[in-house]
């Protein structure tokens, strides 16, 4: 399973980078290979200052070694070894009418000190963060994810969507979601609701759905005119994105606590963001209307 999934994420990295480059038409991804002293490494690919994408990264990593004490406590396990493989991406577009998007697909194995496998699981998901909402974009995005998930287990999409709504929220701001959600799952173990082979195909299907879910939205919105007011709102909401990633995101915390590569982990942060004291959108404005969508909503 390790070798097969590692091969898949490297192929997916190539496919996604090519699709995003074609959409941008100007910028290209720059690759930075790195090694982790404790074991493993990765390939960080970053795009910047493009015609469409202001900043983004599509990163793969395969890391292994002793599990850090903080993570032993988090997983409630004794002194252990681990192996983790995944692809993580965040794309911050230039135009405020084009949503930011995040996705991650990962596989984790845990071993005792004699290197016997004691646990394994898949995790991942995709979520969308629009600054201005076009309802047909939201419906299409969530619909694509539902069509991807449902063939594997009837009713599963509703569960994963609810988990995403709950997870990607700034609880310190009254459970205000950072975007409009998508799907999120973790600790999906072989043999629970799917056997190992089906679970691998499920993970691959979710990875393959990324470009069809996102690129049509980008194509529809990338050339819409915008001004300083829209940029200001975009950067205020990017501030909320930063808050979530640095305070709540388990992937960010895991990477930093296991001596992951800081530059790659913090690639997810936008190039520009704003924080105002007690900021409130103008009453009756499109920005105020947008706030109603940063909470759970049934799109499909």
Return the domain boundaries, the chain.
2-154+187-225+251-271
Give the tens place of pLDDT for each residue, 141-200. Answer: 999 999 999 999 999 999 999 999 999 999 999 999 999 999 999 999 999 999 999 999
Q: How many Cβ atoms are within 10 Å of 241's Cβ, its own excluded?
A: 22
User: How far is Cα 73 from Cα 214, in angstroms, rounded to an integer?
Assistant: 37
Give the tens place of pLDDT for each residue, 167-177. Answer: 999 999 999 99
Q: How many Cβ atoms are within 10 Å of 185's Cβ, its own excluded?
A: 21
Residue 66 DSSP SS3: strand
Give the tens place of pLDDT for each residue, 92-140. Answer: 999 999 999 999 999 999 999 888 999 999 999 999 999 999 999 999 9
> What pLDDT does 76 receive?
77
CB 222 within 8 A of CB 145: no
User: How far is Cα 109 from Cα 118, in angstroms, rounded to an integer?
Assistant: 8
The DSSP output letter for 172 is: G
Per CATH, which fold does 2-154+187-225+251-271 belong to? oxygen-dependent coproporphyrinogen oxidase (3.40.1500)
User: How far is Cα 143 from Cα 220, in angstroms, rounded to an integer?
Assistant: 17
For the chain, give the mean pLDDT.
95
CB 85 within 8 A of CB 61: yes
- Report phi then psi at 108, rounded to 5: -135, 135
Per DSSP, the chain holds a count of helices (H) and strands (E) of 10, 9
157 is catalytic: no
C-alpha 269, offset from chain centre: 12
Q: Which of 64, 92, 102, 153 is catalytic?
A: 102
> What pLDDT does 299 receive?
96
User: How far is Cα 73 from Cα 79, in angstroms, rounded to an integer?
Assistant: 10
> What pLDDT does 253 receive?
82
CB 165 within 8 A of CB 284: no
What are the CB-based long-range contacts (under 8 Å, 24+) for 69-75?
70/257, 71/254, 71/257, 71/258, 75/110
Residue bearing tokens 């395969």? 62
Give the tens place of pLDDT for each residue, 236-284. Answer: 999 999 999 999 998 888 778 777 788 888 989 999 999 999 999 999 9
> What pLDDT does 47 receive?
98
- Encoded tokens for 84: 């983790």
What pTM was estimated for this model as a whole?
0.95
Computed from CA positions of residues 103, 270, 261, 211, in that sequence, does the dihedral angle turn out positive or negative?
Answer: positive
């Amino acid at each position: 399973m390790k070798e097969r999934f590692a091969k898949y994420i490297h192929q997916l990295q190539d496919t996604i980078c090519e699709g995003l480059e074609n959409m941008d038409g100007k910028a290209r991804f720059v690759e930075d290979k790195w090694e982790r002293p404790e074991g493993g490494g990765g390939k960080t690919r970053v795009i910047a200052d493009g015609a469409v994408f202001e900043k983004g990264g599509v990163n793969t990593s395969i890391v292994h070694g002793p599990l850090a004490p903080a993570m032993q406590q988090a997983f409630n396990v004794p002194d252990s070894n681990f192996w983790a493989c995944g692809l993580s991406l965040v794309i911050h577009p230039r135009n405020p009418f084009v949503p930011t998007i995040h996705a991650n697909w990962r596989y984790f194995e845990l071993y005792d000190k004699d290197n016997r496998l004691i646990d394994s699981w898949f995790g991942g998901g995709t979520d969308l963060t629009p600054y201005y909402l076009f309802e047909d974009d939201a419906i299409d995005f969530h619909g694509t994810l539902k069509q991807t998930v449902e063939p594997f287990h009837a009713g599963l999409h509703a569960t994963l969507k609810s988990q995403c709504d709950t997870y990607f929220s700034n609880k310190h701001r009254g459970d205000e979601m950072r975007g409009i959600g998508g799907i999120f799952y973790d600790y999906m173990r072989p043999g629970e609701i799917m056997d190992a082979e089906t679970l691998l195909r499920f993970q691959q299907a979710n990875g393959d759905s990324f470009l069809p879910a996102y690129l049509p939205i980008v194509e529809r919105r990338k050339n819409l005119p915008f001004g300083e007011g829209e940029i200001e709102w975009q950067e205020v909401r990017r501030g909320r994105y930063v808050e979530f990633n640095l305070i709540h995101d388990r992937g960010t915390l895991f990477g930093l606590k296991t001596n992951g590569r800081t530059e790659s982990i913090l690639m997810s942060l936008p190039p520009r963001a704003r924080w105002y004291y007690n900021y409130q959108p103008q009453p009756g404005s499109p920005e105020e209307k947008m706030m109603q969508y940063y909470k759970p909503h049934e799109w499909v």
